[in-house]
Amino acid sequence: MKRREFIRAGAIGGAAALAAPAVAQDRRQWTLVSAWPKNLPGPGVAAQTLADRITTLSGGRLEVNLFAAGEIVPGPGVFDAVSEGTAQIYHAVPAYWGSKSKGILLFGSQPFGLRADEQVGWMVHGGGQALYDEMYGRFGIKPFLCGNSGPQWFGWFRNEINSTDDLRGMKYRSTGLASEMCAEIGMAVQAMSGPAMFQALQSGALDAGEFIGPWTDSALGYHQVAKNYYWPGVGEPSSAEECGVNMAAWNDLPDDLKAVVQLAASSLYNDVWTEYETKHALALRQLVESEGVILRQLPDAIVDDMGKAAGTVITRLREDSDELVRRIAESFVDYRDSVGAYMTYADNGQMNARARVLGY
């Protein structure tokens, strides 16, 4: 898919579609506003799949119509649009809502934090969903995780880096708690959309930036303007995608349609995550073999400094003036430490053993 095909977002006079959801003969219509360009590999595709899955599972009783970023509201405006009832549901990532509450950021990704499967474990078995509901309830939204990108990358750099000093003052695109970690070591972090990041790298307004991973990043063309691709993405060991439903629209649903929305979101999580993992692998091979991309590992000294910065960021959350933020942070840390200790022997042990014989 060519980059232009999904970054073109023309306003289509969508305001007419923003009437209250139609209810006729137990049939409803919802507007889904997305933070992504339509059909952007990864999140843009996932947003459409979510709309289609709700419609299909409901037998057409709940028809969800997708509007991409810029068609009704800009990508950063989808949370407010649903909170205010302008639309009934959005698709985005928690990392975009730090201005609402720092506690929200922990539900999406955490520096040196949870993998995609562990994130679900925290939500379902570690008390995370109750805290997620409580936080988003402040804004009149019922939230669900509905996908994950898997491990993200540290990103695309115009020049090679060798030490933390090389990063100080560097103009770098990131989001969420990863951006706070990077700012802590002196990087000049900027928030912007994925397509805007390409333009900024091309013009020199950015020195480097991260978005998602090889599949989505290659579609946006970052390799055309920055050839150094750094790993691991310690700021986002995984990054959850979410949908948020306007609370009034949620409460208006009968129980069976509530179950449909919940099932559509939870069933999509694994489908989205495994598609990312599969297509990231294929895209990375293409980037290296055909596009001249140079894979570079972050030096251990940088990782160590990032770890210290991440500890500072999480400590601030554990000491936040908002009691709910403190509870979210403590729940996350407790779960991470518990499951992380086990993974040393389980998944980590298996992956390290496999790496020793990869290629047999």
Give the annotated binding-site residues for substrate: 152, 173, 210, 236
Query: What dihedral angle (degrees, nearest 10) is formed by the CA atoms of 43, 151, 296, 161?
Result: 90
The burial class, CB within 10 Å (0-12 / 13-18 / 19+), for 157 is: buried
Q: Which residues are annotated as a binding site for Na(+)?
A: 211
Q: Is residue 156 a contact partner of residue 208, using CB atoms and an 8 Å limit?
A: yes
The burial class, CB within 10 Å (0-12 / 13-18 / 19+), for 309 is: buried
Type and span of the H or E element at 177 = helix 176-184
Length of the chain: 360
Distance CA 14, CA 6 (A): 18
First to last CA, the chain: 34
CA distances from residue 173 to 120, 199, 207 in whole angstroms, order as listed: 27, 12, 9
Pairing of strands 208-209, 294-297: unpaired
Q: Tokens 């539900």 map to which residue?
A: 107
Distance CA 113, CA 210 (A): 17
Structure tokens at 167: 């990063």
For 110-121, the DSSP string reads -TT---HHHHHH
Helix, strand, coil % in the chain, rounded to nearest 5? 50, 15, 30
CA distances from residue 276 to 116, 188, 213, 231 in whole angstroms, order as listed: 11, 29, 8, 16
Question: Mutual orientation of helices 323-343 and 300-318 as an angle, nearest 10°?
Answer: 140
CA atoms within 13 A on the CB side of 69: 23
